[in-house]
Chains A and B, each alone.
Chain A
Amino acid sequence: MPSSDAIVIGGGPNGLAAAARLAASGRRVTLCEAGAVAGGGAVTAEFAPGYRVSGLAHLLGHLDARVIAGMELERHGLAFAATGLATTAVSATGDHLRLEGAAGARLTGRIAPEDVLAWDRLRSRLMAFAAALAPMRAMAPPRLARGAANEMLRLARVGLGLRRLGRDEFREFLRMILINVADVAEDELSDDRLGGLLAFDATLGAWLGPRSPNSLILYLDRLAGGMAGQQAALALPKGGMGTVAAAMARGAEAKGVVLRTGARVARILVEDGRALGVALADGEEIRADLVVSAIGPKATLAGLVGPRHLDTGFLRQTAAIRARGGAAKLHLALTGLPDFRGADPKTRLVIAPSVNAVEAAFNPVKYGEVPDRPVMEAILPSAHEDGFAPGGHHVLSAIVQFAPHAPKDGADQARALMLERSLAVLEDHAPGLGALIAHAEMLMPQDIAARHGMVGGAWHHADLAVEQMLFLRPFAAVAQYRTPVAGLWLGGAGCHPGGHVSGAAGWNAAGAILAEGGR
């Protein structure tokens, strides 16, 4: 008699979403999370005495609407400190550009009217492309095979959405879908700040520079997200990402999920080609006919299942999954509010002065080096609400790009250099910020890997790039969440549609399992 109907490995947003959806269908679900709390990349952590911050992801842009509704997250504590968060393209001279609304619906600041027109034209075109693609996020990727049981109705909807763009726009869509974002920025925009922002947002969390092939599609993926019913909008969760994690954990438990923290899975039990359960690091075995892994695909297949149960060609493909983190996380404890030359501290502050600045920040990481002038996205959660820092003090949370995931001069030296150079960039844009720093924490990709278990410190468990997207994510044989080991499914960020604090992959995986009758 199995002790559960289903075991979910990994208590990040995807694991929680998959567990909740399976439990909601009446199955007894046990979720095994190695850490002390569930949440994965969604965590609020104290990084210095009295200073708390979202420890990894710090903004919500993709939390799946089906997950919010299905897990009743708002009832379980999900709340926002800000929705429709504005962005400031921060200038070192104070000549900022402010983008209001989702992905810059309105621009304020000193900018030529023709540049505003160009931006509006490009933005609305890309928003339309993204909207046509967005339904893809909520379905299992189609299979390119004869007789594949694809979700034809949903695919038809995507096709129809693309047709509705009209002939000329559809042609533009085909022209642009695999283009790089630098070409788009240079074709369409003349304002460096907008070009820099576009290039930064397209490559955020990726191992790509703006001139790397196919980088625009990642921007479309970003625009295909959204929060609070608004496409491409960003939201700041109240209390940091830990609140999101806690709401998801409570939502899962309310559905009946047995959440076991501190339960590191050492092995997936496989016999005669079928998953029978898991063995924990302490030796305990939990049996179930259904195992869903929401941790990375490589760690699941090559590690927990092991090569002996898998075919050689399949293992080759598993080994070839690319997972390279290029983003570092910077946390600063500040004794006062920094002044970014008048920029609104309640906005998302992006320091990416031009397309070339982003490209130049990417170049060194290819060689395992730290960039001279990192580009970054910073937020000051303490400017929105109390509870992150002692009275009058502040915390700054920044995603700093690009950081070498395999630094050639050693991890410690690279971390120190990355911190020094990031602080220099910040000082240029917010003079006096350095003097406010009470404590600084720099998490390099390898630190993120060590802390959160993501191979290479890659946000999405596997690089999000055209060749690892949709029915190629993480590779064709497992793109529909099912693995060759009967009863074992993948449901993590390494699967379609990728990571972010979203839950979409886990929710989709559970849907695919339920469509199969649960085995």
Chain B
Amino acid sequence: MSDPRLHYRAPLLRTPFHPRIAEANVLNQWGAWAGYTTALALQDEEMEYTAIRNGASLYDLCPMVKYRIMGPQAAEYLGRLTLRDVVRQPVGTVRYTAWCDDAGKVLDDGTLFRLAEAEFMLCCQERHLPWLLDAASGFDVAIAEITEAVAALSLQGPCSASVLRAAGLDVSALKPFAVTRQEFAGTTLTLSRTGFTGDLGYELWLAPEAALPLWDGLMAAGAPWGIRPIGSNALNLARIEAGFIIANADFVPAEQALREDRPRSPFEIGLDWMIDWQKGHFNGRRALLAERDGQTSRWALVALDIEGNVPAEGALLYHGKTREVGHITAAAWSPATKRNVALASLRRPWDRTAADDLWAEVYALRELHYVKLMLRARITERPFFAPARRRATPPEDF
């Protein structure tokens, strides 16, 4: 198309949905995500959040990094790469997963789609092709990055199933974490009941050429339910309520960490439930086994309920107001639960012993003047918000 040497003239790429999003982005708030220009908020952040929780929302997922893994040993390979058992993952399902380096520190988390017996798609936050290729030594697999070849759109909200039905896509039988293929306007869509909101929702994967017709079709079909394009800020609020973590927000991927104490093991970010110890060797197993048996985990991911209504973003956590025991990685006032919630990385054993005397040091900016608040924090259950509708099959008709 253009001379690749001139790439610096457009330091951020545009996604296939960009024309529509640019039109809708009346606030003109943009942010960079994995090399793409993406909207932070389009018209009204609160209304966008409300669309996620009360209607239907459209979010451009194209910058999500995607890999296709194919071949007769793809399942074995992915079992060796990631923490979970992949050989027994049924075709047509999606699994939330994570993978580690040799030291058992998390490189990234993501979703693994089994599209066929020998075809998978792995979606994640960061780029890992060299690692994926090196891990494939000895396996009959072909691995390709397909981030640019696949456009992705997230339709989330209690009315999302109704919107799809109105657009001619029947998802009534699609269970959570299931994936299917359907025809839409002459192209084949991959449709999964997945999302990053903790609500009823779907993700649609398609060829970039089909992106705009899909967008237009869903916007038209969704009009009666108040469908609305959303930006990353509204999604971030929803994901905090859902208790989901993000690489480079709630943990530093081990490959990027420079400081010795920054990488986190699955035990340290609440992902240890994924580990399948029975499936044979997987990357990091020896280190994780030693960590499990030696009880040497140093951190714990906890959900916090913080007094008041000032979001405690980035706050340091103290035991007895004096001893620093951790820090908050994500925080928000949760409209759905009417609670001041946070996710935090807490030094062990304070996740158990400091429960009654944990404090967040919050600097609240009030008219150009920071006010230091010591707010009581209580360890609570994750997720903060988990409506039954996210699981109901067939989905309720809103």
Contact A312 B281 (CB under 8 A): no
Q: Is A484 an interface residue (CB 8 A)?
A: yes
Contact A311 B134 (CB under 8 A): no
How far in angstroms is the closest Cβ of chain B from A305?
Answer: 10
Chain A 296-321 interface mask (CB, 8 Å, partner B; 1/0) = 00000010001111111111100100
Residue of A at shortest CB range from B81? A312
- Which residues from chain B contact A302 at a C-beta distance below 8 Å? 137
- Which residues from chain B contact A310 at a C-beta distance below 8 Å? 281
How far in angstroms is the closest Cβ of chain A from B144?
Answer: 18
Contact A312 B135 (CB under 8 A): yes
Contact B80 A314 (CB under 8 A): no
Q: Is A273 an interface residue (CB 8 A)?
A: yes
Residue of A at shortest CB range from B289? A273
Residue of A at shortest CB range from B100? A311
Contact B138 A308 (CB under 8 A): yes
Q: Is B140 an interface residue (CB 8 A)?
A: no
Question: Of B131, B280, B289, which one neighbours A312 at CB under 8 angstroms?
Answer: B131
Contact B281 A315 (CB under 8 A): no
Contact A311 B137 (CB under 8 A): no
Q: Is B232 an interface residue (CB 8 A)?
A: no
Contact A314 B102 (CB under 8 A): yes
Question: Of B134, B284, B285, B286, which one neighbours A315 at CB under 8 angstroms?
Answer: B134
- Which residues from chain B contact A308 at a C-beta distance below 8 Å? 80, 138-139, 280-281
How far in angstroms is the closest Cβ of chain B from A89?
Answer: 48
- Which residues from chain A contact B289 at a C-beta distance below 8 Å? 273
Contact A316 B134 (CB under 8 A): yes
How far in angstroms is the closest Cβ of chain A from B263?
Answer: 13
B128-143 contacts to A (CB < 8 Å):
131, 134-135, 137-139
Number of interface residues of A (CB under 8 A): 16
Q: Is B109 an interface residue (CB 8 A)?
A: no
Q: Is B101 an interface residue (CB 8 A)?
A: yes
- Which residues from chain A contact B281 at a C-beta distance below 8 Å? 273, 308-310
How far in angstroms is the closest Cβ of chain B from A426?
Answer: 45
Interface size class of B (residues with CB under 8 A): 10 to 19
Which of A306, A311, A313 neighbours the largest number of chain B CB atoms within 10 Å of its CB?
Answer: A311
Contact A312 B134 (CB under 8 A): yes
- Which residues from chain B contact A306 at a C-beta distance below 8 Å? 138
How far in angstroms is the closest Cβ of chain A from B284?
Answer: 6
- Which residues from chain A contact B134 at a C-beta distance below 8 Å? 312, 315-316
- Which residues from chain A contact B138 at a C-beta distance below 8 Å? 306-308
Residue of A at shortest CB range from B287? A311
Chain A 261-284 interface mask (CB, 8 Å, partner B; 1/0) = 000000000001100000000000
- Which residues from chain B contact A313 at a C-beta distance below 8 Å? 101-102
Contact A307 B283 (CB under 8 A): no
Residue of B at shortest CB range from A302? B137
How far in angstroms is the closest Cβ of chain A from B237?
Answer: 36
Chain B 77-96 interface mask (CB, 8 Å, partner A; 1/0) = 00011000000000000000
Residue of B at shortest CB range from A316? B134
Assembled-state Cα–Cα distance A315/B139 (Å): 14
- Which residues from chain A contact B139 at a C-beta distance below 8 Å? 307-308
Residue of B at shortest CB range from A317? B102
How far in angstroms is the closest Cβ of chain A from B67?
Answer: 15
Chain B 283-311 interface mask (CB, 8 Å, partner A; 1/0) = 11110010000000000000000000000
A331-358 contacts to B (CB < 8 Å):
none
B299-351 contacts to A (CB < 8 Å):
none
Given A273-B285, A309-B281, A484-B286, are A315 and B101 also a contact pair (CB < 8 Å)? Answer: no
B73-128 contacts to A (CB < 8 Å):
80-81, 101-102
Residue of A at shortest CB range from B132? A312
Assembled-state Cα–Cα distance A429/B80 (Å): 60
Question: Which 8 residue pairs of A and B lie closest in terms of their CB atoms, listed nearest first?
Answer: A307-B138, A311-B102, A313-B102, A307-B137, A312-B135, A311-B283, A312-B134, A309-B281
Using A273-B281, A311-B283 as known contacts, list a sample of 13 further A-B pairs with CB atoms less than 8 Å apart, ordered by residue number in A: A272-B280, A273-B285, A273-B286, A306-B138, A307-B137, A307-B139, A309-B281, A311-B102, A312-B102, A312-B131, A312-B134, A312-B137, A319-B137
A-B contact pairs, 14 of them (CB 8 A): A272-B280, A273-B285, A307-B137, A307-B138, A307-B139, A308-B139, A309-B281, A311-B101, A311-B285, A312-B102, A312-B131, A312-B137, A312-B283, A313-B102
- Name B's A-contacting residues (CB within 8 A): 80-81, 101-102, 131, 134-135, 137-139, 280-281, 283-286, 289
